[in-house]
């Protein structure tokens, strides 16, 4: 490669990131002690601070038993509130609009209880054809729940023939033409497969102008790209915390509901004792008094030991700040793109992620022309210590995560691909 390893190392000296705050796994192959970890879009690395913070919460339980609800250093009863302000800052929301709870698909269902209300001719749900399967299963089951045929209810937006990603103008044109039949638009902010960053404000505006509710699955967007959910007038959103938010496998998820819906007694909602105003929680009354905040969507008392890692991670994002992370992300992903351009030029590999940095986060997805994506990622791991992830049949995803990935990691990806994938004959 014309881009040398020395150049990559020099870039790292000039633009070091925050790798020292994370545990980087040892490599099981290749010539470097640590892996080049490019799978933070699937599961982020563990922040070094997480273990001690978690142990401190566990210690409170062993020392205080039930009294920890009020007397722990971080009392458990209001513990979730510690996560609210940093989560709100991360997604550009007001604290009253943001809560961390449950997992992503569960939250999408709870939100659809309120926001998918098919009526008359307005019954359809718009998703991307390449939506993450869980979202597709979730919306199909919601259609069935309302007595509708999922095949007739779902609109799956596809890219134009010969293209890999959606065009904003096609999505907004569809909504202008057929939006009167649409009850809900539920799209991925960043598509999990292609890495395409959707124009969230434009699509939200088009959906709402057509009279539909517009929600976003931000699993691949939260902690990856700057968001301004409140100002963009998004109706609702949900995201997980185990990818870019580095909060551990199956970590708790976030929810946003726009202020204009808060306190609306006309919205159906499922309730439990955490849906009632906190001050009334122990009055043991049979009827809840929900607050005019998104906390009205909470149901159960939160799992404290699952909240600790999210809190620790959100503090990290607060300290570094999304604007600085986005700047580094643009530099790092741009660098990987330049390296991949060289490697893919004479090999059966194509980057399918948009080339415009404004239309993507940090992930670059590569379509392979021969062989299997699974086989390629296994070889990258075992022969080169490069961790990427495969989406069968033919996509391998690489995400240089601005918090902890390095230019040298990017160089190792390109070097490993060059060594593993044969050139066109
Ligand atoms: C875009 C998207 N939506 C939904 C999910 C499902 O998340 P969960 O299993 O946490 O509900 C994922 C998981 O990777 C995802 O990437």
DSSP secondary-structure letter at 44? P
DSSP secondary-structure letter at 371? S
Residue 108: closest CA among 85, 88, 91, 132: 132
Query: Tokens 């007038």 — which residue?
Result: 233
User: Model confidence at 415, in pLDDT bands (50, 70, 90)?
Assistant: very high
- Reading phi first (left if > 0) and then psi (alpha if -120 to 50, else beta), residue 211 is in left
Q: Return the percentage of the chain with pLDDT > 90, whole number.
A: 98
Which pLDDT belongs to residue 2? 77
Helix (H) or strand (E) holding 368: strand 364-368
For CA atoms 150, 153, 159, 165, give the dihedral sign: negative
Tell the residue nearest (CA) to atom 3 of ligand 1.
Answer: 132
Which pLDDT belongs to residue 229? 98
DSSP secondary-structure letter at 188? E
CA 250 to ligand 1: nearest atom: 10
CA 242 to ligand 1: nearest atom: 10
In degrees, rounded to 5, the angle at the alpha carbon of residue 187 between the alpha carbons of residues 181 and 188 is 175
Checking if the pLDDT of 409 tops 80, the result is yes
Q: Return the percentage of the chain with pLDDT > 70, whole number.
A: 100
> Which residues, in sequence order, are bridge partners of residue 390?
396
Show Cβ contacts of residue 34 under 8 Å, excluding neighbours closer than 6 positions: 24, 25, 26, 27, 385
Average pLDDT over residues 377-394: 96
What is the β-pairing status of strands 349-351 and 36-37? unpaired
Q: How far apart are CA 355 and CA 386, in angstroms?
A: 23
Checking if the pLDDT of 167 tops 80, the result is yes
Query: Tokens 């799992």 — which residue?
Result: 303
Distances in Å between the Cα of 291 and the Cα atoms of 254, 300, 313 are 18, 15, 27
216 C-alpha to ligand 1 centroid (Å): 12
Average pLDDT over residues 306-314: 98
Query: Tokens 């609702």 — which residue?
Result: 236
Checking if the pLDDT of 1 tops 90, the result is no
* Residue-wise pLDDT tens digits, 396-406: 999 999 999 99
Average pLDDT over residues 143-149: 98
Q: How far apart are CA 233 and CA 92, in angstroms?
A: 11
**Binding residue positions for pyridoxal 5'-phosphate:** 104-105, 132-135, 217, 220, 242, 273, 301
Q: How far apart are CA 289 and CA 181, in angstroms?
A: 35
Over its C-alpha atoms, the chain yields an Rg (Å, rounded) of 22
Tell the residue nearest (CA) to atom 10 of ligand 1.
Answer: 104
Least confident of 1-5, 7-11, 209-213: 1-5
Q: How far apart are CA 181 and CA 190, in angstroms?
A: 25
3-state secondary structure 67-83: HHHHHCCCCCCCCCHHH
Checking if the pLDDT of 27 tops 80, the result is yes
3-state secondary structure of 315: helix
Checking if the pLDDT of 142 tops 80, the result is yes
DSSP result, 160-181: PTT-SS--HHHHHHHHHHHGGG
User: What is the CB < 6 Å shell around ligand 1?
Assistant: 103-105, 132, 134-135, 188, 192, 217, 219-220, 240
- Reading phi first (left if > 0) and then psi (alpha if -120 to 50, else beta), residue 162 is in left
DSSP secondary-structure letter at 92? T
| 129 token code pair | 């054809």
* Residue-wise pLDDT tens digits, 34-49: 999 999 999 999 999 9
User: Model confidence at 59, in pLDDT bands (50, 70, 90)?
Assistant: very high
Which pLDDT belongs to residue 425? 75
* Residue-wise pLDDT tens digits, 219-229: 999 999 999 99
CA 42 to ligand 1: nearest atom: 14
Average pLDDT over residues 322-331: 98
Which pLDDT belongs to residue 3? 84
Q: How far apart are CA 305 and CA 250, in angstroms?
A: 12
3-state secondary structure of 239: strand
> Which residues, in sequence order, are bridge partners of residue 368?
349
* Residue-wise pLDDT tens digits, 282-304: 999 999 999 999 999 999 999 99
User: Model confidence at 244, in pLDDT bands (50, 70, 90)?
Assistant: very high
Residue 274: count other Cβ atoms within 10 Å of its Cβ. 19
Instruction: Write down the mean pLDDT value for the chain.
Output: 97
Tell the residue nearest (CA) to atom 14 of ligand 1.
Answer: 42
Checking if the pLDDT of 181 tops 80, the result is yes
| 3 token code pair | 């881009």
Residue 217: closest CA among 244, 241, 190: 190
| 358 token code pair | 């404004």
Peptide bond into 180 cis (omega under 30): no
Checking if the pLDDT of 242 tops 80, the result is yes
With a threshold of 0.95, does the pTM exceed it? yes
């Amino acid at each position: 490669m014309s881009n040398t390893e020395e150049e990559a190392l020099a870039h790292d000296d000039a633009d070091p990131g925050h790798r020292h705050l994370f545990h980087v796994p040892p490599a099981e192959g290749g010539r470097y002690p640590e892996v080049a970890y490019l799978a933070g879009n699937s599961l982020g690395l563990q922040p070094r601070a997480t273990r001690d913070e978690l142990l401190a919460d566990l210690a409170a339980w062993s020392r205080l038993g039930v009294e920890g609800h009020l007397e722990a250093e971080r009392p458990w009863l209001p513990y979730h509130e510690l996560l609210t302000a940093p989560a709100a800052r991360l997604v550009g929301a007001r604290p009253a609009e943001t809560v961390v709870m449950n997992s992503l698909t569960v939250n999408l269902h709870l939100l659809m209880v309120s926001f998918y209300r098919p009526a008359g001719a307005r019954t359809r749900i718009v998703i991307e054809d390449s939506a993450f399967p869980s979202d597709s299963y979730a919306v199909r089951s919601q259609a069935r729940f309302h007595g509708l045929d999922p095949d007739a209810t779902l609109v799956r937006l596809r890219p134009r023939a010969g293209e890999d990603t959606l065009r904003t103008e096609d999505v907004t044109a569809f909504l202008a033409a057929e939006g009167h039949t649409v009850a809900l638009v539920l799209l991925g902010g960043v598509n999990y497969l292609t890495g395409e960053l959707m124009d969230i404000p434009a699509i939200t505006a088009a959906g709402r102008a057509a009279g539909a509710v517009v929600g976003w699955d931000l699993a691949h967007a939260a902690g990856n790209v700057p968001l301004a959910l409140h100002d963009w007038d998004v109706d609702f959103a949900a995201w997980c915390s185990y990818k870019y938010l580095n909060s551990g496998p199956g970590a708790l998820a976030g929810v946003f509901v726009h202020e204009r819906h808060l306190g609306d007694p006309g919205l159906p909602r499922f309730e439990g004792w955490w849906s009632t105003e906190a001050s009334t929680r122990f009055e043991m009354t049979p009827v809840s008094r929900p607050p005019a905040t998104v906390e009205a969507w909470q149901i159960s008392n939160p799992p404290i030991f699952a909240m600790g890692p999210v809190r620790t991670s959100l503090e990290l994002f607060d300290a570094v700040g999304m604007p600085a992370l986005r700047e580094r992300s643009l530099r790092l992903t741009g660098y990987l793109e330049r390296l991949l351009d060289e490697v893919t030029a004479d090999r059966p590999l194509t980057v399918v992620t948009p080339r415009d940095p404004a239309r993507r986060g940090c992930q670059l997805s590569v379509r392979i022309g021969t062989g299997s994506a699974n086989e390629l990622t296994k070889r990258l791991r075992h022969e080169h210590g490069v961790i990427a992830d495969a989406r069968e049949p033919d996509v391998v995803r690489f995400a240089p995560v601005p918090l902890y990935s390095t230019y040298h990691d990017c160089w190792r990806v390109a070097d490993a691909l060059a060594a593993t994938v044969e050139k066109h004959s």
